Amino acid sequence: MKIGINSGAASGPETTIDGLIERAQSMEKLGFDCFWMAHMFGLDAMTALALVGQQTSTIKLGTAVVPSYPRHPLVMAQQAATTNAASKGRFTLGIGLSHKPIIEGMFGLGYSKPARHMDEYLQILAPALNKEKVDFSGERYKARGQIAVPESASVPLVVAALGDAMLKLAGTYADGTITWMTGPKTLEQHIIPKLRLAAEAADRPLPRIVAGIPTAIVSDKDSATARINKGMKMYGQLDSYRAMLDREGADGPADIAFVGDEAELRRKIQRLRDIGVSDLNCAILGVGDHDTTAQFLASEL
């Protein structure tokens, strides 16, 4: 299992271009496989990672995740290919539906039948990322053309998939899934088997399972747990994440976070290896010391 670091969702220096580049460079020196960037309400993740790609050389880069609704799939493919070219082939595009309050409330777009939206979206995006000609006409999207960025080969694609319909789409059209607010029991019993079944039915390779996990080495676990549940309360209120927490039997985000001493985190990381997670995407929390947690994770590579 490969271990990467998530950035872009916290406050502090990494919310600036220079700070983000510095953080990526430090994670590269520690040997992490991938530097994943959340796409929130600040920096555009793909634009920022294109700049990061110019200032790093070995660490892979990925979005976790870019919302599909605001960008036409050919526009998404074009920007992904450009980011891949800027990073010399180290980029993975992670996309997702986002959430109804954001898509409707912030962007003013419709969010009805999200799985139908993603079905058509992937039928355009997936071949476009592979530099294939696209000629598609559906209920929601029409696209005809080909993205040609000479310095970019095919761009790997992972889709944030939690429900049954989305897992089927991710297994059919993408290279895997990227999750958040999803614990090990749910990964083992729900996400991984259903995604693999869909990929097998579509005659695709074994899919990547990128598990996004809030992570921190702490000395006072009870205090850290209370702070996490308060600071990450909104995640437990969004329908798709709430469904995953309920599957896990978790009251709140802290129940699926990897928080504790080194021995506890080591056991939890090993469980993900055992159930077939291919990529661990650690979002280091501010309840502990960032450098201590990063150095521990680097020792587990």
Q: Are residues 202 and 121 in the same domain?
A: no
Asked if residue 293 is part of any domain, the answer here is: no
Distances (CA, A) of 290 to 6, 7, 214: 12, 12, 12
How many domains are contained in the chain? 2
Asked if residue 129 is part of any domain, the answer here is: yes
How high is the pLDDT of residue 49? 98
Q: Are residues 93 and 242 in the same domain?
A: no
Q: Are residues 197 and 266 in the same domain?
A: yes
Q: Are residues 2 and 149 in the same domain?
A: yes
Asked if residue 202 is part of any domain, the answer here is: yes
Domain-terminating residue out of 122, 157, 192: 157
Asked if residue 173 is part of any domain, the answer here is: yes
How high is the pLDDT of residue 12? 77
Q: Could you give the 3-state DSSP secondary structure of residue 179?
A: strand
Tokens of 21: 């580049």
How high is the pLDDT of residue 54? 98
**Whole-number Å distance between alpha carbons of 43 and 92:** 18
Asked if residue 40 is part of any domain, the answer here is: yes
- The amino acid at 282: C
Q: Are residues 31 and 125 in the same domain?
A: yes
Exposed/middle/buried for residue 112 (C-beta within 10 Å: 0-12, 13-18, 19+):
exposed
How high is the pLDDT of residue 9? 74
Asked if residue 222 is part of any domain, the answer here is: no
Q: Are residues 127 and 243 in the same domain?
A: no
Q: What angle do CA 109, 175, 62 make, to 5 degrees?
A: 70
Asked if residue 226 is part of any domain, the answer here is: no
CA torsion sign, 297 to 29 to 12 to 96? Answer: negative
How high is the pLDDT of residue 14? 86
Q: Are residues 134 and 211 in the same domain?
A: no
**Whole-number Å distance between alpha carbons of 63 and 293:** 22
Q: Are residues 62 and 111 in the same domain?
A: yes
Q: Are residues 151 and 174 in the same domain?
A: no
Give, for all 301 residues of the chain, the pLDDT tens digit. 999 999 987 777 889 999 999 999 999 999 999 999 999 999 999 999 999 999 999 999 999 999 999 999 999 999 999 999 999 999 999 999 999 999 999 999 999 999 999 999 999 999 999 999 999 999 999 999 999 999 999 999 999 999 999 999 999 999 999 999 999 999 999 999 999 999 999 999 999 999 999 999 999 999 999 999 999 998 989 999 999 999 999 999 999 999 999 999 999 999 999 999 999 999 999 998 999 999 999 999 9
DSSP for 98-123, written as a single string:
--HHHHHHTS----SSHHHHHHHHHH
Which residue range forms the structural domain that includes residue 202? 160-215+233-255+262-287
Q: Are residues 148 and 14 in the same domain?
A: yes
Q: Could you give the 3-state DSSP secondary structure of residue 67?
A: strand
How high is the pLDDT of residue 13? 83
How high is the pLDDT of residue 11? 72
pLDDT tens digits for range 49-79: 999 999 999 999 999 999 999 999 999 999 9
Q: Are residues 109 and 149 in the same domain?
A: yes
- The amino acid at 253: P
Domain-terminating residue out of 108, 123, 157: 157
Asked if residue 221 is part of any domain, the answer here is: no
Q: Are residues 33 and 153 in the same domain?
A: yes
Domain-terminating residue out of 135, 157, 179: 157
How high is the pLDDT of residue 77? 98
| CATH code, domain with 151 | 3.20.20.30
